[in-house]
Each structure stands twice: as C-alpha cells, then as structure tokens.
Structure 1
C-alpha cells in the first residue's frame, strides 16, 4: 500500500544542513494502523508530511497505491491527495464555518454537487458521533468534538489513507481514548490505512498493529506492537515501553523494596495473551515453601492481545526460591530478576 524508499529531507540553515529525515525505509500494508513514535525533533512530523507531499523529499521515493507521488504533475497530485486524508494536533478548522460547512469544504473544492455533498456530510456526522451539532461553530465545541469534525472532514472524499499528526496530543486522557476508539472503528468499518505519529506510547499500545521508533531522523526499531513491547531492542524504545509498564511510582516502589529487602529476590514477570489471566501466584504458594509478596502489577490491552507485568518479592530459602524461578520459566512466563532500577 505505502512504500518509503531511502527517504531523506535536508533543510539548509545558517548553521549548515539539517537531516530532518535520514534514509528512512518503511513498508505499510493496506488496512493497517501504523504508529510512528519519537520525541520532539525526531523527524516524525516531517516524515508524515512527505506522505502527501506537503513536504517534498530531498531524496527517495514515496509510493502510495502504486503511484510515486513526487513524479506526479500538479493536477495528478491534487487528485492523489483526495485519497489521503489528514488530521492535525490543533484541529485546523475554519472558525467562521459550522460543523456541517467544515466537513463539506473538501467536497466543495472537489466539485461535488450540493445534494451529494449534503448526503455525504450527514453520513460522516453520524459516523463520528456528532449528531445534533451540525449547526455549531468550532468555538462552541469541546476539544474532542473539534477533532471529530477534523476526522469527518478528512474522510469526506473517501480516502484510502488517513494521516494523523499528533491527533490526540491536545486532548485529555479520557477524550484521547474516545478518539482512539473512533479511529479503530473507522479502520475496521472502512478498511482505511491509518498512519499516526505520537510521542505517547499509550497511543501506540492501544490501537496500532505496527510501530516504528524514530530518533534523530532515523528509524531505529520497528515491528509488531506486541513484539516491540515484549522485547524492545534500542534504549529509546525501552524508554517508551517503560512509560507503560514502569511508570515513576513503580520505580519508587521497587527502589524502596530493593533497599529494604535483605533476602529473597524481586522479579518482574511478563505475561502475554491468555497467560495474563493465569493464577500463577496461587500455584507458586502451593508448590513451594516460599512467601510471595505482590509489589505491583498491570495488564495492558494492545489492539490484538493482552500484555501484563507483575513485580513480586520471593522470600525463603535460596534453593527453594531457585526452584520457584525455574518453575516460572518452564511455564513460558518471562522472568527478570530486578537488582536495581
């Protein structure tokens, strides 16, 4: 569906050349929700803007649905862009137009007859859950409602691809979740390919099939979301994963336990899928002469599975603890002994 080949974007500044995007290669499949994560300045916004030629690559090719975008004429590019919708962090709505008129705007530009425009806009208002707000102006809407207008407008011309540029960064957590649920619903109903960029691992964890991690203009790691969560390879990726499985309060709790615990072991268990709901602790207590203290635990849902982490303190005679550790490993549960945080 989408192929990026050796994409580079170089900006010239007074201090010299800046490689905002540096030899990026990506393959994004049709119907996929593909996340690109990185901190500010990683190059992710520049990268996503090259997918619809708002930024032209200095080198490399962007191929979408078999079309190499940089080789299209202006007329052909305008037509190709109708198949690529885009939503933004700060909504980019027309403040003098109503919800209905904002959604209608791209249809006007495309020359769609008025009667068909109205029919399409009403469909989209229903799709994004804005019934009854078609006559409201952006200033009368909440942040989540504004983003729903932005999504509806981006879908007006029945695009094949939806680009999301930090689409939830300006929203509170509850509203963010509702917008992410809407994007998943749209992806499933319309078979739309969704590419989103973010600096929040929560967004990737909740809705993406695949993820690419960007740092200093390069893709440093990529793969299925669950695989990246389970086995992050790069330090940058490990930092993002820890946002979910080891928030600051977990680090503080573990540090306190490690400092005060003179015997036994503190271990982290990782469960995937149905294993996340197993009564493993009960089995440990029944089989081995050890004390098991649960320090902290969490089950996170990815789009396709569950991912659980549990921190426990095993206390008892060293041989018995070692038997318990071996038992856990034999049960296909990942185990890591925590010695410092």
Structure 2
C-alpha cells in the first residue's frame, strides 16, 4: 500500500543544515492503522507532511499503490492527493463556513456537481456523528466536534489513506477516546488505511495495529503494537510503554524495590491475551513452599489483545525459590528475573 524508501529531509538555514528525517524506511499495509510515535523534535510531523508532499523530500521515495509520489509533476500530484486525506491537531477549519460548507469545500475544488456534493456531505455528517449540526459554525462546536468536521472533510473525496497529524493532542482524555473510536469505526467500515502520528502511547495502544518509534529523524524500533509493548528494546520505547503501564519512573521504582525487598527474589511477569486471566500466583503458592508478594501490577488492552505486567517478590528457601521460578518459565507467562530498566 505505502512503501517508503530512504526518505530524507534536510532543512537549510543560515547557520546550519537540520536533518529532520534521516533515511527512513517503512512499509504500511492496506487497511491497517499504523502509528508513528516520538517526542518533540523526533521528526514525526515532518515525516507525515512528506507523505503527501506538503514538504518536499530532499531524497528518497514514497510509493502509494505502486505510484511514486516523489516523481509526480504538480498537476499529477494534485490528482494523487485526492487519494490522501489529512486531519490536523488544531482542526484547520474555515471559520466563516458552516459545518456543511467546510466538509463540502474539497468537493467544490474537485468540481463535484452540487447535487452529488450535498448527498456526500450529508452522508459524511452522519458518519462522524454530527447529525443536526450542518448549519453550525466552528465557533459553536466543541473541540471534539471540530475534529469530527475535520475528519469528515478529509474523507470527502473517498481517499484511500488518512493521515492524522497529532489529531487528538488538543483534546481532553474523554474526547480523545471518542475520536479514536471514530477512527477505528471508519477504518473498519471503509477499509481505510490510517497513518497516525502522536507523542502519546495511549493512542498507539488503543487503536494501532503496528507502530514505529522515531528518534532524531530515524525509526529506532518498529513492529506489532503488542510485540513492542512486550519487548521494548530502545530506552525511548520503554519510556513510551511506561506511559501506559503506569510507571514513568520505572528505573527509580526498581531501585527502591530491590533495596527494600532484598530478602527475596524480585521478578517481573509479562501476561499476554488469555494469559492475563491465568491464576499463576496462587498456583505457585500451592506447589512450592514460598511466599509470593505482589509489589506492582497493571493490565491494559491493545488491538491485538490484553497485555499485563506484574512485579512480585518470591521469598523462601533458595531451592524452593529456584524451583518456583523454573516452573513459572514453563508456563506461557514470560518471566524476567532482576528486570532490566
């Protein structure tokens, strides 16, 4: 669907050249929700603007449905862009136009006849949950409603790809969840490919199938969301995972735990999918002469299933503790002794 090869963007200034995107390579499948996450300055906003050539790449290629977008003339690019919708952090609505007229705007530019235009706009208003608000102006809408208008407008020309540039960053948590639910609904109903950039792991966790982690213009880690949650390799990825799993000070927490629970072995357990319901702790306590003390735990949901982590202290005779840990490792629960930070 989307193939990105050695994509590079250098911004030239009077003082220096700034490498915003550095030989980035990605492949995004048709119909998936692909997340790109990174902190400020990682290059993610530049990356998504390169995808529809709002920014011109310095080098590299972007292919959409086997068409090389980087090689298109301006006239052909205008046609190709009709297959790419985009929504923005601050909505970018036309404040002098009603909801109906905002959504109709790209159809007007494309020369769609009035009757077809009206039919399409009404269809989109219903799709995004704004029935009855067609005559309202942006100033009369909440932040979530404004973003729904932005989504409807982006879908006006029946695009194959929807680009989301920090689409929920200006919204409160409850409204963010409602917009994310809408994006999932659109993805499933229309088979739309969605590329979403964010600095919030909650967004990735809730709706994305796969994720790429960006740092200093590069993709430093990528894969299925559940796999990345389970096995974050890079320090920046671990920080993002800790956003969701509730321990942003993981390193300090582990130091405190190791200092205060020296009498027993401290281990970290990873539960996936149905394993989150597994009664492992009580099972171990019955089988072995050990005491199991739960220090910390949390379960969260991803598109691919539930994921949970738990820190426990196992205390008892050394032989019994070793046997208990060995038994845990034979189950489908992943066991990490003296977990790395």
TM-score (norm 2): 0.95
The alpha-carbon deviation at position 70 of structure 1 amounts to 2.4
Q: How does 1:330-341 map to 2 (within 5 A)?
A: 330-338=330-338
Residue segments in structure 1 that go unaligned for 5+ positions in a row: none
Alpha-carbon distance between aligned partners in 2 of 1:289 and 1:133, rounded to the nearest angstrom:
66
Alpha-carbon distance between aligned partners in 1 of 2:250 and 2:56, rounded to the nearest angstrom:
44
Corresponding residue for residue 36 of structure 2: 36
Contact 1:250-1:296 at 8 Å conserved across structures: no
The alpha-carbon deviation at position 71 of structure 1 amounts to 2.0
The alpha-carbon deviation at position 256 of structure 1 amounts to 4.3
1:250–1:40 Cα change, 3 Å: closer
Corresponding residue for residue 54 of structure 1: 54
Tell me, what secondary structure is at the counterpart of 2:51?
A: coil
Contact 1:103-1:156 at 8 Å conserved across structures: yes
Deviations 1:246-280 (A, max 9, x none): 42477666554433323112221001111111111
Corresponding residue for residue 96 of structure 1: 96
Q: How does 1:243-254 map to 2 (within 5 A)?
A: 243-248=243-248, 254=254
The alpha-carbon deviation at position 32 of structure 1 amounts to 1.1
Matched residue pairs, number? 341
Alpha-carbon distance between aligned partners in 1 of 2:285 and 2:181, rounded to the nearest angstrom:
39
Query: Is the counterpart of residue 123 in structure 1 residue 113 in structure 2?
Result: no
The alpha-carbon deviation at position 340 of structure 1 amounts to 8.1
Query: Is the counterpart of residue 210 in structure 1 residue 210 in structure 2?
Result: yes
Alpha-carbon distance between aligned partners in 1 of 2:110 and 2:333, rounded to the nearest angstrom:
55
Alpha-carbon distance between aligned partners in 1 of 2:84 and 2:187, rounded to the nearest angstrom:
14
Q: How does 1:1-341 map to 2 (within 5 A)?
A: 1-248=1-248, 254-338=254-338
Residue segments in structure 2 that go unaligned for 5+ positions in a row: none
1:338–1:246 Cα change, 3 Å: farther
Contact 2:242-2:248 at 8 Å conserved across structures: no
Greater Cα shift, 251-260 or 171-180: 251-260
TM-score (norm 1): 0.95
Post-superposition, which runs of at least 4 consecutive aligned residues in structure 1 deviate over 4 A? 249-256
Alpha-carbon distance between aligned partners in 2 of 1:11 and 1:254, rounded to the nearest angstrom:
41
Alpha-carbon distance between aligned partners in 2 of 1:228 and 1:202, rounded to the nearest angstrom:
13
Alpha-carbon distance between aligned partners in 2 of 1:339 and 1:149, rounded to the nearest angstrom:
46
